[in-house]
Amino acid sequence: MAVLTGKKAPLFSAPAVINGGEIVDSFSLEQYLGNKYVVFYFYPADFTFVCPTEILAFQKKMAEFEKRNVAVVGCSTDSQFSHWKWLTTPVNQGGIEGVKYPLVADQAKTIAENFDVLAGAYEYDESGELQFNGTPMAYRGLFLIDKEGTVQHQVVNNMPLGRSIDETLRMIDALQFFEENGEVCPADWKKGDDALTPTQEGISSYLSKH
């Protein structure tokens, strides 16, 4: 599994569904450069079981992301048409109607591959034919990208394991606190807690109080 933290997020242009039902042919994270932070996350597949709990949970916390100037973008290896169908299906019928942030279609699996969250790979068989070995879906990867396009945090869960939206918000708060104050955030830090100066004296002072 590649570690992208500290590196520029891979670039892409792909179809997506935005605003809960509008299909666009070319969507890119580049539109946010210099303007917004981005939480870019992958999920395995549309019309599944754990995935809608996460997708809807992100939407429910959208006001929290917006006040932190963060764009949320989801992605799976399904088509834009599958995304559209799921987004326009009521929740009580197994859909995710009401989700307004973009869902990117990665049918070619290249985005998931470039972020190294694809559960499998293309390989040539003994006959020289290209085949996909593994599961042609993405693990639950999440990447926090700063305004300069650099990945500042990543986490990857296996498919059965749902993520914590609150932990994602905590990491955003930590990143923005560091950027604004120059102090670093210790274990289990949350907004409003003491941070520490990255010196031996700062660490000693913090530990003496905690």
Q: Report, in angstroms and rounded to the nearest whole number, the Rg of the chain calculated over CA atoms.
A: 19
106 lies in some domain: yes
Out of 14, 38, 51, 73, the active site residue is 51
Q: How far apart are CA 89 and CA 60, in angstroms?
A: 17
- Only one residue has tokens 């990447």, namely 143
- Mark whether 121 and 193 lie in a shared domain: no
Shared domain for 134 and 210, answered yes or no, is: no
Write down the pLDDT at residue 183: 84
DSSP state of 9: P
Are 34 and 58 within one domain? Answer: yes
pLDDT in tens, the chain (210 residues): 689 999 999 999 999 999 999 999 999 999 999 999 999 999 999 999 999 999 999 999 999 999 999 999 999 999 999 999 999 999 999 999 999 999 999 999 999 999 999 998 888 888 888 888 888 999 999 999 999 999 999 999 999 999 999 999 999 999 999 999 888 888 889 988 888 887 766 566 666 777
Residue 100 lies in a domain: yes
Report the pLDDT value the prediction gives residue 202, as an integer from 0 to 100. 58
| DSSP-derived 3-state class of residue 50 | helix
CA–CA separation, 22 vs 75, rounded Å?
15
Instruction: Locate 8 and state its tokens.
Output: 């520029």
Q: Are strands 118-124 and 130-138 parallel, antiparallel or unpaired?
A: antiparallel
CATH number (domain holding residue 149): 3.40.30.10
Q: How far apart are CA 199 and CA 204, in angstroms?
A: 9
User: Does residue 202 sit in the same domain as residue 189?
Assistant: yes
Same domain, 49 and 77: yes
Residue 1: inside a domain:
no
Is residue 59 domain-shared with residue 143, that is, in the same domain? Answer: yes
CB 22 within 8 A of CB 99: no
Return the closest-CA partner of residue 170 out of 208, 142, 199: 142
Is-contact 71 36, C-beta < 8 A? Answer: yes
Residue 73 sits in the same domain as residue 146: yes
Cα 117 to Cα 158: distance, rounded to the nearest angstrom = 10
Give the structural domain span for 102: 14-163
Judge whether 51 counts as a catalytic residue.
yes
As given in the structure block, the two tokens for residue 201 are 């004296």
Residues 103 and 200 in one domain: no
Does the residue 103 lie in any domain?
yes
